[in-house]
Structure 1
Amino acid sequence: YENRKQVVNTSAITVFPVFTWFFFCSRYLRRPIGVNSRLCVSLTASDALCAFFYILTYVINVILPNILSNCWSLLLEVFKLATFFASVFTLLALALNHYIGIVYPLRRHIITPRSVRCAIVLAYFVPSTVFLVMFSTVPGGFRAPVPFAFFSKDGCNGGGILRNVAVRWILVAPFIVFVLLISFLYMHILLHMRNVSKDPLLKTKQTKRTTNRKLLVTLMLLAGSACLGWLPTTVLFLPLRPTMYLRLYLAIIFSLIVDAFIYASRLVEIRYAIERLQSGTYCKTCILKDTYCDDVELKITNAGVFGCGTLPRPTPPEFARYLSETIESRAVRFQKLNSSRKNQSGTQPMSLVLHYVKTADVSNTLYLYCQIVVQVISSGESATKLRNSFNF
């Protein structure tokens, strides 16, 4: 039995750094971050937290069973259940967003980045609060003999709250409802896309439908892996053989591993973030920090007054369409310009001009022209040299 627990813990230890790395890659996502990308990052965070809490549970229950209070085990169980429901709620939000975008495209404005951020916060806050209240009020939880004794070895002894039939129904019923809702939404999406594909008036939108179909397959894979991995946990608290417990835990870990492969292979946003992290496609400036140069193809060999070094290798062609469809809006560019003016007060004015030119995605010639102008002004060269640089 101890060897089986070690197998589960080893699998969780393997999954945790993988999802932590994916979550770190999210900071390299191209702005503005879409709704689907934001929800996928939240799903990655919930998977990483789930693996982390499994590791802590093993440490407390196996390595330190007689040192720490049983209240800590119950608290970890609360957080495991909270992350489980957060991941299921995020999958439901992904399905709902895709459903509105495909079936009711004219109502797509209903789902905004602000509403998505609120939904993500509620997905973690509401389950955590509900389970903390439930474990604090229902007998067998934190109120077990020596209640709330987190710093006593005898705290919360005999806590059998998870063997309570009412508690098990509270845990299982929402999950079943969410799975049925997700299945209904995706089935309706498939039927709608099948009907649309037969419409001869929509042949010009074949590319858009192909993109929606690829995203739909990706989200269905995520939902399917989550359902196959988490659905067996509904019988986890029934009297089963030890081998069945091992299979259930391995099913959970296997679903997390499958999610990692789906993120890395299917989502172009995650693949681009990984590529950007590995290649280091950013320009280190001594005046304007974190000024990314992934859209600039100039090879600047002279650092000049802006401290820019040689840019890295060009972006792979597979991301060309993604880059063309995710250009930052004018409001985002002006916001960056205003923040740079506030944070870099007292620096050279032309550095801000160059920063705006870069973020505005104008031609490379204009960008090079601005840099040469500043270098000529700073070095005191004549206007003749400037004209010769451009063959006027």
Structure 2
Amino acid sequence: MFTLNIITTSFPEASTVSTEYYDITDAIWDNSNSSSSSSSSSSSSSSSLEKETQREFYAAILPALIVFTVATTLVSSVVVCAAPWVKRPLSPTVRLSLSLAAANTLFAVTWTLCLVANMYLPMVQKVHIPECIKLSLEVLRLCGILIQILHLLVVALNHYIGIIRPLHYAATFTPTTLKVILCTLWLTPIVGMFVAFSSVTNEGFQATNCSNVTFYTHGLPFRIVWTCIFFGPTLVIIIVYCHIFYLLNNRSLYLVCAEQRTQLRRNIKTVRTTALIVVTFLVGWGPAVVKFILICSECVYTKTDLHTQMYLGAAFNTLFSLKVFIDTFIYAIRLPDIRKSLVMMWLLIRTRLRRRQPGLIDGLATSPSRTSSTRLSLSSPSFHRILHDLRASMSWKRGILRRQQQSSAPQRRASQAAAVRSTRFLARVRTSTGRQTRRLSRSQATAERQTRRLSRSQTAAERQTRRLSRSQTAAERQTRHLSGSQTTARVQIRRLSRMQTTAGGQTKQFARVRTTVDRQNRRYLSRLTPAGRPLLPASCHQQPSTSLSTSPVSL
């Protein structure tokens, strides 16, 4: 996954592909110290000293690490070899677990080859390895890591569907569907990684002798994509298992039957086993992925100390090997079917190893020298004991033949008739067994059909329930709308009544005003003279004459 980066950061000269990337730390130091010729000479001397230090470090660490990875590969291969002894029929969980163990073994093999071909032989033994072979091993190891990530994601979804929809589980994960999923899990990463390393112009497999992989060793986009590929499914897996544990803890409160509680405990144990594998996955590869995205020529940290690189690389490589080793024991101890298959395989191997050689008489008959093949003399007690056993067995057979010859013809006929009857009875039993087997197969097929129909009916019921809930929601919305419209109508009616009340008051007021006007008109008409002039009071008629007589000057 990040072998090139890890190896070159931990062991900078052991890059699997590019010679230019071997001395990247030296190039950084040269650029930083290129101000004078004396500094350049000191940097070259320090570079040679660092190379010697790295070689000594490789010679001390790599042999032990290679031995440990070889042992891990052998132990992981034992789990894969025990697959023929697993109890049939295989459940989808067991099939996925065995496929995950095979992916783990593939990673162990490619990791061992990378340590030997990419690091130990070029650096310690000074053996030249073609760059295309190194790059191919690196791509295969990346494929192994990606295959395991996808396997863990599918296993998590398998557990989730089995717990959320147990009645639809058998119809979802059929053997054909599972085979297609496994083929996709294995072929997609391999094809995708080889295409990725072959699609960049003048880099990867398109470069001369595969000597240029700058997009992988120095480029930041590839590191970002790979980090997303690693942590994206990992985050989904963690969320799925948290929800699964939450559902299982809540479901345990409603179980009454002992069989249901036992099945729940088995499910919890299986889920915990897969969760342990996810934890080893994160602990084994998570720190290296974080380092892969943080340290490069275009990353956040562009330079680290040489000793820090070597120690971090040794720690990460040890974590890789420990991850594979621990996963193997998790499969062997936690999964009951794989544990039983390992026990059966061990018993078979032990019985074959303890099986004795063929009999001494067969050795005497087939070997050219009796004394050399049996290492027994003719006068030895063992040889006389063997002859005595042979004589006893031959005398027993002669007695049987003699008694058969002495038996009468009716007894022979009776025995023959009994044999015929027994043969017929066995034929009838076989026929009835075949009929029962066919009936059982038909009943199983019928049960499967009924299960499918039940699942379809449940799906249809769920759809109808959803439609009913939608219609109920729509009815509730209409009811709320109707109640709102009724409230609005009541408010408008109240306003209209108020307006009517106000209009009535205004009408009464207008009637009063009109009555008052009518009264005033009548009074005014009653005061008019026949000539049409208003009839004034006496005071009003006398006042102008008085004013004229008294004040003529005013005229």
Give the counterpart of 2:264 among 209, 217, 221. Answer: 209
Query: Quick one: which amino acid aligns to residue 67 of structure 1?
Result: H
Shift in CA distance, 194/162, structure 1 to aligned 2, threshold 3 Å: same
Give the conservation status (yes or no) of the 8 Å contact 1:196–1:202. Answer: no
Question: Are 1:143 and 2:197 matched, yes or no?
Answer: no
Give the counterpart of 2:324 among 253, 256, 270. Answer: 256
Query: Quick one: which amino acid aligns to residue 143 of structure 1?
Result: Q
Q: Distance in 2 between matches of 1:274 and 1:175?
A: 32
Query: Quick one: which amino acid aligns to residue 216 of structure 2?
Result: L
- In the alignment, which residue of structure 2 is the partner of 1:268? 336
- In the alignment, which residue of structure 2 is the partner of 1:39? 96
Q: How does 1:9-24 map onto structure 2 within 5 Å?
A: 9-24=66-81
Give the counterpart of 2:176 among 114, 125, 141. Answer: 114
- In the alignment, which residue of structure 1 is the partner of 2:287? 232
- In the alignment, which residue of structure 1 is the partner of 2:115? 58
Q: What displacement does 1:7 show?
A: 3.3
- In the alignment, which residue of structure 2 is the partner of 1:48? 105
Deviations 1:5-25 (A, max 9, x none): 333322211111111111110
Question: Are 1:29 and 2:86 matched, yes or no?
Answer: yes
Q: Distance in 1 between matches of 2:347 and 2:339?
A: 12
Q: Distance in 1 between matches of 2:88 and 2:138?
A: 36
Q: What displacement does 1:159 show?
A: 3.0
Q: What displacement does 1:386 show?
A: 9.6
- Root mean square deviation, CA, Å: 2.6
Deviations 1:176-200 (A, max 9, x none): 1110111011000011011111226
Deviations 1:275-303 (A, max 9, x none): 2112229x99xxxxxxxxxxxxxxxxxxx
- In the alignment, which residue of structure 1 is the partner of 2:221? 166
Give the conservation status (yes or no) of the 8 Å contact 2:285–2:320. Answer: yes
Give the counterpart of 2:346 among 266, 269, 278. Answer: 278
| SS in structure 2 of the partner of residue 33 of structure 1 | coil
Query: Quick one: which amino acid aligns to residue 162 of structure 1?
Result: Y
Give the counterpart of 1:198 among 243, 250, 253. Answer: 253
Give the conservation status (yes or no) of the 8 Å contact 1:29–1:273. Answer: yes
Q: What displacement does 1:205 show?
A: 1.5
Q: Distance in 1 between matches of 2:420 and 2:273?
A: 53
Q: What displacement does 1:70 show?
A: 1.1
State the 4+ residue runs in structure 1 displaced beyond 4 angstroms.
200-204, 383-388
Q: Distance in 1 between matches of 2:66 and 2:200?
A: 29
Q: What displacement does 1:382 show?
A: 3.4
Give the counterpart of 1:382 among 408, 416, 437. Answer: 416
Q: Distance in 2 between matches of 1:243 and 1:161?
A: 25
Give the counterpart of 2:315 among 232, 236, 247. Answer: 247
- In the alignment, which residue of structure 1 is the partner of 2:153? 92
Query: Quick one: which amino acid aligns to residue 232 of structure 1?
Result: P
Q: What displacement does 1:248 show?
A: 1.0
Q: Distance in 1 between matches of 2:417 and 2:151?
A: 60
Q: Distance in 2 between matches of 1:264 and 1:381?
A: 55
- In the alignment, which residue of structure 2 is the partner of 1:101? 162
TM-score (norm 2): 0.48
Q: Distance in 2 between matches of 1:387 and 1:280?
A: 39
Shift in CA distance, 166/202, structure 1 to aligned 2, threshold 3 Å: farther
Give the counterpart of 1:67 among 108, 128, 136. Answer: 128
Q: Structure 1: which 5+ runs fail to align?
A: 147-154, 285-379
Q: Distance in 2 between matches of 1:8 and 1:117?
A: 36
Deviations 1:212-267 (A, max 9, x none): 11111111111111121121231354355210111111111111111111111111
Give the counterpart of 1:157 among 198, 203, 211. Answer: 211
Q: Distance in 1 between matches of 2:69 and 2:214?
A: 25
Q: Distance in 1 between matches of 2:78 and 2:239?
A: 33
Query: Quick one: which amino acid aligns to residue 254 of structure 1?
Result: L
TM-score (norm 1): 0.67
Q: Distance in 1 between matches of 2:281 and 2:417?
A: 65
Q: Distance in 1 between matches of 2:256 and 2:138?
A: 54
Give the counterpart of 2:189 among 127, 130, 144. Answer: 127
Q: Distance in 1 between matches of 2:187 and 2:179?
A: 12
Give the conservation status (yes or no) of the 8 Å contact 1:19–1:260. Answer: yes
Deviates more, 1:233-242 or 1:259-268: 233-242
Q: What displacement does 1:158 show?
A: 4.3
Shift in CA distance, 72/188, structure 1 to aligned 2, threshold 3 Å: same
Give the conservation status (yes or no) of the 8 Å contact 1:26–1:41. Answer: yes
Query: Percent of aligned pairs with the same residue?
Result: 26
Q: Distance in 2 between matches of 1:212 and 1:386?
A: 53
Q: Distance in 2 between matches of 1:24 and 1:52?
A: 15
Shift in CA distance, 182/264, structure 1 to aligned 2, threshold 3 Å: same
Shift in CA distance, 206/136, structure 1 to aligned 2, threshold 3 Å: same
Q: How does 1:294-373 map onto structure 2 within 5 Å?
A: none
Give the conservation status (yes or no) of the 8 Å contact 2:200–2:206. Answer: yes
Shift in CA distance, 168/64, structure 1 to aligned 2, threshold 3 Å: same
Query: Quick one: which amino acid aligns to residue 205 of structure 2?
Result: F
- In the alignment, which residue of structure 2 is the partner of 1:292? none
Q: What displacement does 1:77 show?
A: 1.1
Q: Which has the higher helix share?
A: 2
Q: Distance in 1 between matches of 2:97 and 2:257?
A: 30
Q: Distance in 2 between matches of 1:204 and 1:43?
A: 30
Give the conservation status (yes or no) of the 8 Å contact 2:76–2:325. Answer: no
Q: Distance in 1 between matches of 2:114 and 2:98?
A: 24
Q: Distance in 2 between matches of 1:385 and 1:200?
A: 56
Give the conservation status (yes or no) of the 8 Å contact 1:236–1:248. Answer: no
Deviations 1:20-47 (A, max 9, x none): 1111100111111111111111111111
Q: Distance in 2 between matches of 1:183 and 1:199?
A: 26
